[in-house]
């Protein structure tokens, strides 16, 4: 019986590959590009792989509408998107530009594969989430299984010693770049246009865990609003993010109610607009106050965009016959695209313009918030055999370069390390047990100046950063030496 199921799964996968030729070709390309990292540290390939989900979902969108002749040609030509010079992009992995690019392409995919009606739109969105989730779990299972086999063979027969990183990279390429895209299109073909049939666990989760939690959170926010009205004070800085999460969860759970056979909290979700609008007003008050005090920042511009989408969604539900989620999704796509890609009015340009307009006294105060991470404590370098001192900008031998908020280290004229300032800082804060919103005690400075790699160590002389209400920004990093085992 199990053999029959495996055979059936294999046949479905083969049919899916035939029905999705371009998606299958892209998966092979992604896998080859990932495997090429075994032989090169080319930053362009790394960036291209980061944008692989965008290229892949664009091909899927074209395929969904390939009955139209023009779109069908776009589908067949979509592999040419791999020729876009992604090497020109130099940004942190956690950059808002990259994050919202992923958000936009996923919303567009759901719009392309769903229908306008709220129930059908929610059905399409849940099928997408289901396909991604199952594909991820199966790909992770493949990765763990292959790694266990390779590690066992290496241990038992004493072979491949020292090549563990190369094997792991190859297995990751197979699991994430090849298997996951193909599994995704397989499950999308399977679930496409199928009505969601929630399990008992889904009913239990919505009726007895998430909905009661949302009601409790509603009470907490309303009590907080009562408190600030009585005390006549302004909302705290992080309230806007809490309200954003609350309202987003509210409308997501409201969209899921139509799939429940016996929904318990119909009365609660029926009043979604009336319940969420006061909290959105609270959110807008906090945003406007902080813009007046500190000006626009890139995170704050994106926050305004998200809250605008949620506010529109709340007003849309006052009108019963509208395709609420479809309108909100298109509005979000257009608004996010404008502030992400259009020069002059992008979030980054708005931040630069706003900060340039701030009074000199505020700029000076901002400069006074600058922090220098410097430590005179000794560091343990036992276990490392070779030490290379790094010269700034020498251009030969052992040196480092900083460009576009990124750091590159060269040993004997070969690039050995490249990373973005913000990514380095975020990793070091995590290793030191701190979040990006925490203050940095001097006792943690030594940990922040030490970057441990798989087989190497980077020691920093110092680096400078400044802290604003939106978080830390690293201005400069000065590495001192690079050690290898």
pLDDT tens by residue, 189-225: 888 778 888 888 999 999 999 999 999 999 999 999 9
Q: Which residue stretches of 158-179 are H helix?
A: 164-172
Q: What is the CA radius of gyration of the chain?
A: 26
DSSP 387: E
> Between these two residues, 145 and 418, which has the higher pLDDT value?
145
pLDDT at residue 178 tops 70:
yes
CA distance 179 to 142: 9
In whole numbers, what is the pLDDT of the chain averaged over residues? 87
User: Which DSSP string corresponds to 300-355?
Assistant: HHHHHHHHHHHHHHHHHTTSTTS-HHHHHHHHHHHHHHHHHHSTTSSHHHHHHHHH
DSSP 474: E
CB 472 within 8 A of CB 431: no
Q: What is the mean pLDDT of residues 114-118?
A: 89
In the chain, the percentage of residues whose pLDDT exceeds 70 is: 93
> Between these two residues, 292 and 308, which has the higher pLDDT value?
308
Distances (CA, A) of 240 to 212, 216, 287, 290, 472: 22, 18, 7, 11, 19
DSSP 174: I
pLDDT digits (tens, 9 = 90+) for 230-271: 988 888 778 899 999 999 999 999 999 999 988 999 999 999
pLDDT at residue 468 tops 70:
no
Residue-wise burial string across 110-125, b where 16 or more C-beta atoms lie within 10 A, e elsewhere: bbbbbeeebebbbbbb
pLDDT of residue 3: 66
pLDDT at residue 365 tops 80:
no
pLDDT of residue 211: 96
pLDDT of residue 323: 94
Instruction: Tell me the range of 310-314, 456-460, 463-467 where mean pLDDT is highest.
Output: 310-314
> Between these two residues, 266 and 5, which has the higher pLDDT value?
266
Q: pTM for this structure?
A: 0.75
pLDDT at residue 135 tops 60:
yes
219: number of Cβ within 10 Å: 10
Q: Which residue stretches of 2-117 are H helix?
A: 2-19, 21-36, 43-50, 52-64, 69-77, 96-113
CA distance 370 to 163: 43
pLDDT digits (tens, 9 = 90+) for 268-286: 999 999 999 999 999 999 9
Q: 85 exposed, middle or buried (CB, 10 Å; 0-12, 13-18, 19+)?
A: exposed
> Between these two residues, 431 and 3, which has the higher pLDDT value?
431
The pLDDT-based confidence of 361 (bands split at 50, 70, 90) is: very low
Q: Which residues contact 475 (CB under 8 A, 6 or more apart)?
A: 370, 463, 464, 465, 466
Which residue, 454, 431, 451, is CA-closest to 390?
Answer: 451
pLDDT of residue 368: 44
pLDDT of residue 125: 94
CA distance 189 to 181: 12
pLDDT of residue 318: 95
CA distance 34 to 50: 10
Q: What are phi and psi of 419, to 5 degrees?
A: -160, 160
What are the extents of the domains in the chain? 2-191, 200-358, 370-484
CA distance 447 to 78: 46
CB 347 within 8 A of CB 303: no
CA distance 113 to 73: 19
pLDDT digits (tens, 9 = 90+) for 155-170: 898 888 778 888 999 9
pLDDT of residue 100: 94
CB 440 within 8 A of CB 371: yes
> Between these two residues, 443 and 119, which has the higher pLDDT value?
119
> Between these two residues, 330 and 404, which has the higher pLDDT value?
330
The pLDDT-based confidence of 381 (bands split at 50, 70, 90) is: confident
pLDDT of residue 57: 96
CB 92 within 8 A of CB 139: no
pLDDT at residue 91 tops 60:
no
pLDDT of residue 454: 80
pLDDT of residue 452: 87
CA distance 15 to 19: 6
pLDDT of residue 89: 59
> Between these two residues, 60 and 199, which has the higher pLDDT value?
60
The pLDDT-based confidence of 144 (bands split at 50, 70, 90) is: very high
pLDDT at residue 14 tops 50:
yes
pLDDT at residue 227 tops 50:
yes
Q: 188 exposed, middle or buried (CB, 10 Å; 0-12, 13-18, 19+)?
A: buried
* Weakest mean pLDDT among 34-48, 215-229, 305-319: 34-48
pLDDT at residue 316 tops 70:
yes
CB 401 within 8 A of CB 408: yes
Q: Can you tell me whether residue 260 is helix, strand or coil?
A: coil
pLDDT at residue 93 tops 90:
no
Q: What is the mean pLDDT of residues 392-401?
A: 75
Beta bridge partners of 431: none
Q: Which helix (H) or strand (E) holds 391?
A: strand 391-392
pLDDT of residue 142: 96
* Weakest mean pLDDT among 106-110, 398-402, 432-436: 432-436
Q: What is the mean pLDDT of residues 61-82?
A: 91
């Amino acid at each position: 019986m199990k053999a029959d199921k495996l055979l059936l799964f294999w046949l479905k996968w083969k049919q899916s590959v035939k029905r999705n030729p371009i998606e299958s070709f892209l998966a092979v390309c992604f896998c080859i590009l990932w495997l090429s990292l075994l032989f090169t540290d080319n930053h362009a390939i790394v960036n291209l792989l980061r944008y692989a989900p965008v290229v892949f979902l664009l091909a899927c969108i074209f395929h969904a509408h390939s009955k139209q002749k023009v779109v069908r040609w776009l589908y067949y030509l979509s592999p040419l998107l791999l020729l876009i010079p992604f090497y020109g992009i130099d940004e942190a992995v956690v950059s808002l530009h990259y994050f919202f690019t992923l958000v936009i392409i996923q919303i567009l995919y759901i719009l392309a594969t769903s229908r306008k009606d709220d129930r059908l739109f929610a059905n399409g969105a849940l099928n997408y989430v289901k396909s991604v989730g199952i594909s991820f779990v199966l790909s992770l299972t493949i990765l763990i299984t292959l790694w266990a086999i390779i590690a066992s063979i290496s241990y038992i027969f004493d072979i491949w010693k020292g090549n563990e990183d190369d094997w792991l990279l190859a297995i990751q390429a197979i699991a994430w770049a090849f298997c996951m895209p193909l599994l995704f299109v397989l499950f999308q073909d399977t679930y496409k246009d199928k009505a969601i049939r929630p399990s008992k666990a889904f009913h239990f989760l919505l009726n007895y865990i998430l909905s009661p939690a949302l009601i409790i959170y509603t009470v907490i926010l309303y009590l907080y609003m009562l408190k600030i009205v009585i005390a006549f004070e302004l909302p705290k800085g992080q309230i806007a993010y809490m309200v954003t999460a609350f309202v987003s969860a509210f409308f997501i759970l409201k969209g899921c109610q139509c799939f429940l056979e016996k929904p318990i909290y119909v009365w609660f979700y029926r009043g979604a607009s009336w319940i969420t609008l006061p909290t959105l007003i609270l959110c807008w008050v906090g945003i406007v106050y902080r813009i007046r005090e500190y000006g626009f920042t890139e995170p704050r511009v994106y926050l305004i965009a998200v809250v605008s989408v949620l506010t529109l969604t709340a007003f849309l539900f006052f009108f019963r016959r509208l395709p609420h989620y479809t309108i909100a999704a298109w509005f979000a796509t257009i608004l996010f695209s404008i502030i992400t890609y259009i020069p002059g009015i992008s979030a980054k340009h708005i931040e630069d313009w706003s900060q340039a307009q701030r009074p000199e006294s505020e700029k000076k105060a901002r400069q006074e918030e600058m922090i220098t991470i410097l430590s005179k404590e000794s560091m343990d370098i036992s276990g490392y055999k070779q030490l290379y001192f790094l010269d700034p900008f020498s251009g030969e031998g052992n040196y480092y370069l900083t460009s576009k908020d990124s750091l590159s280290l060269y040993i004997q004229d070969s690039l050995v390390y490249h990373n973005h300032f913000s990514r380095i800082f975020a990793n070091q804060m995590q290793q030191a047990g701190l979040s990006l919103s925490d203050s940095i005690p001097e006792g943690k400075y030594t940990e922040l100046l030490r970057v441990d790699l798989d087989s190497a160590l980077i020691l920093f002389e110092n680096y400078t950063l400044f802290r604003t209400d939106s978080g830390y920004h690293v201005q400069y990093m000065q590495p001192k030496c690079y050690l290898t085992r």
